[in-house]
């Protein structure tokens, strides 16, 4: 069942506890994210960044608190509703998770078919649109191994955009990339937020935070806190 949020808010967590199996990783989480907002999620390894992202995606159940994401209440969501929530969320992984035995077009086509697309012309058109958006308009016929790391990550971002999601969750999207390529990926994600999608980037890349400053939330000592731009962020 869909719940109402204020028009410009797409994620609203109130007094939430984030668990990883039987381990409490974050408590008293309060977070509001607007449509078209870009924000960083930072913190040491094991501080709860990935657990929070998995909770937003309904991969980890929300046991305590109220969590409204893209119109769904995470504490009440039914199993059959989860796929519909996930169509409103695009996920970008650090390790790409592309199917290595298929071309870029086939990778993207696989996702569309799995989410209910049937018309071949519409599928081809949509693939062309997202590849154009991520700057890979002519690379659809290539196999993943024929692409650079940055190009593969652009395919992953294109894949996340296929079903026109309202939210992009990027978990260490530049973790395997060199500095110059990382900048290109961050620029692309920033541009995507300007199209009205909320973009949350979990990262420990301090250089990028300095270069592309944005609202920053830190997981630290089991709580979530907002960091002011002039504060130094110890990430390591």
Residue 147 covered by a domain:
yes
Residue 1 lies in a domain: no
Q: Which pLDDT band, with edges at 50, 70 and 90, does 136 fall under? A: very high
Asked if the structure places residue 141 within a domain, the reply is yes
Q: What is the DSSP letter of 119?
A: -
pLDDT digit string, tens, across residues 205-219: 888 888 888 999 999
In a domain, 109, yes or no: yes
Q: Is 27 within a domain?
A: no
Structure-token match 């204020």, residue found: 6
What range does the domain containing 129 cover?
103-164
What pTM did the predictor assign?
A: 0.90
Report which DSSP code applies to 51: H
Q: How far is CA 182 from its chain centroid? A: 16
pLDDT at 7 over 90: no
Give the count of domains, the chain: 1
């Amino acid at each position: 069942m869909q719940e109402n949020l204020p028009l410009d808010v797409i994620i609203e967590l109130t007094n939430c506890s984030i668990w990883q199996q039987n381990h409490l990783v974050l408590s008293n989480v309060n977070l509001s994210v607007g449509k078209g907002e870009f924000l960083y999620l930072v913190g040491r390894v094991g501080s709860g960044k990935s657990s929070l992202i998995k909770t937003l995606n309904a991969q980890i159940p929300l046991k305590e608190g109220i969590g409204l994401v893209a119109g769904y209440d995470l504490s009440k969501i039914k199993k059959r509703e989860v796929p519909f929530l996930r169509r409103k969320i695009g996920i970008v992984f650090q390790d790409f998770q592309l199917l290595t035995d298929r071309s870029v077009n086939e990778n993207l086509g696989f996702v569309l078919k799995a989410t209910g697309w049937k018309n071949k012309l519409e599928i081809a058109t949509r693939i062309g649109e997202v590849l154009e958006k991520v700057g890979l308009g002519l690379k659809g016929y290539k196999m993943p191994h024929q692409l650079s790391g940055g190009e593969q990550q652009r395919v992953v971002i294109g894949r996340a955009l296929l079903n026109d999601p309202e939210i992009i969750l990027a978990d260490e999207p530049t973790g395997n990339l060199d500095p110059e390529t990382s900048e290109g990926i961050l620029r692309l994600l920033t541009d995507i937020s300007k199209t009205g999608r909320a973009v949350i980037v979990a990262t420990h890349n301090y250089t990028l935070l300095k270069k592309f400053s944005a609202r920053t939330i830190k997981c630290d000592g089991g709580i979530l806190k907002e960091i002011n731009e002039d504060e130094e962020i110890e990430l390591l």
